[in-house]
Amino acid sequence: MSVNIAESPEARTARAPGPPAPPKPRKPSLRQRIWRERWAYTFIVPGALFFLVFAYVPMLGNVVAFQDYSPFRGIEGSPWVGFANFTAIWTDPEVLTALRNTLIIAVLQLVFAFTAPIALALLLNSLISERAKRFVQTVVYLPHFLSWVIVISVWQQVLGGGGLVAGLLDGMGMPGFDAMTNADTFKLLVVAQGMWKDVGWGTIIFFAAIAGIPHDRYEAAAIDGATPWQRTWHITLPALVPVATLLLILNIGSILTVGFEQLLLQQPMVGADAAQVLDTFVYFRGVMGGQWGIATAAGLLKGIIGTILVLSANRLAKRLGGEGIF
């Protein structure tokens, strides 16, 4: 996600041909430049303050990870405990359950939810009728805009106990179907819900990459006798590799963050053993359970590991000859 910082409209017009430039005046001092652009700060300062207060100041709140914090005593009044919260994490069986569930779901998502948009983009791209393509796109993009509460409510009505499928199976003499509370298959359910919501949305970026492939490559390959499958394998797929790498890096960075709202909503129905992940642990242990110090420590640790992962994945992608994100 590189953003072009240097290129501004002025920079571009400065290169445009025009009347011969007058002799260059002396470079203005920093103070003169600030004064000349003083209006710009009226635009920048409010937004900058916003990010300072709501993105950077909360980082300081993480100090309670080193405290036996309670909201009544506040940060000033809570005793400091050093790394006790962090050592407590390692012996807490709930953390291990949450970590295991998080990693299993993340791996399943990488296998299924990460590859599905590529397959769907290729399938839709192979459609000849533009109208059919556009219709399918309209349908598959829609669930992305529904909230998790709506998505899970809808799934509940279809796959839950007393839902549509349960009713049909009951009519066929197979009572008791309820996919929404089955702890054994819950992780697959989570991945399926994620795919239902976002597989279409995920294709957009791959469509952009496919649109950038020159047509004459396909033509040349066809003349050389390549079959449609071979053209897909040797022309389309390689063109998707840079985008896929970029998304993979971002995914690895968020490997410890799996569908927070999605899991939070369903945990009461399935139980903590199957549905506790690191984020829900932080919420239930901290906000609901009142053990703020341990919960914050777990959240902080998770954030640090996530940052390290995304930086390492980025470096690895660059070393393998691809493009990183920064």
Partner 1 sequence: MTAATLSRQGKNSLPPWMSPPSVWVRAVKALVIVLIVITMIYPLVYVIAMSFASPSQARAGVVFPTEFSLDAYRAIFNGGTVTQGLTNSLFITVVGTILSLAATSMLAWGLARTRQVPGAKAVLILVLATMFFSAGIIPNFMLVKYLGLLDSTWSLIIPGLISAFNMIVIRNFFQGLPEELIEAARIDGAGEWRIFLRIVLPLSKPVLAVMGLFYAVGYWNTYFNALLYINDSEKWPIQVVLQQYVLAGVQIPGAVVSPDAPPPPGVTLQMAVIVLATVPILVVYPFLQRYFTSGVLTGAIKG
Closer residue to partner 1 in complex, CB, 41/83: 41
- At 67, phi and psi to the nearest 5? -125, 160
Residue 123: CB minimum distance to partner 1, A = 7
Closer residue to partner 1 in complex, CB, 13/91: 13
Residue 178: CB minimum distance to partner 1, A = 14
Residue 153: CB minimum distance to partner 1, A = 4
Q: Is 146 left (phi over 0), alpha (psi -120 to 50) or beta?
A: beta
Closer residue to partner 1 in complex, CB, 61/238: 61
* End-to-end CA separation in angstroms for the chain: 7
DSSP 145: G
Residue 27: CB minimum distance to partner 1, A = 13
Closer residue to partner 1 in complex, CB, 274/279: 279
Give CA separation, 247 vs 96, 154, 253, 316, in Å.
Answer: 28, 29, 10, 14
| Residue 40 token pair | 């710009």
Q: How far apart are CA 194 and CA 200, in angstroms?
A: 11
Q: Among 156, 110, 58, which residue's Cα sits nearest to residue 313?
A: 110
Closer residue to partner 1 in complex, CB, 44/111: 44
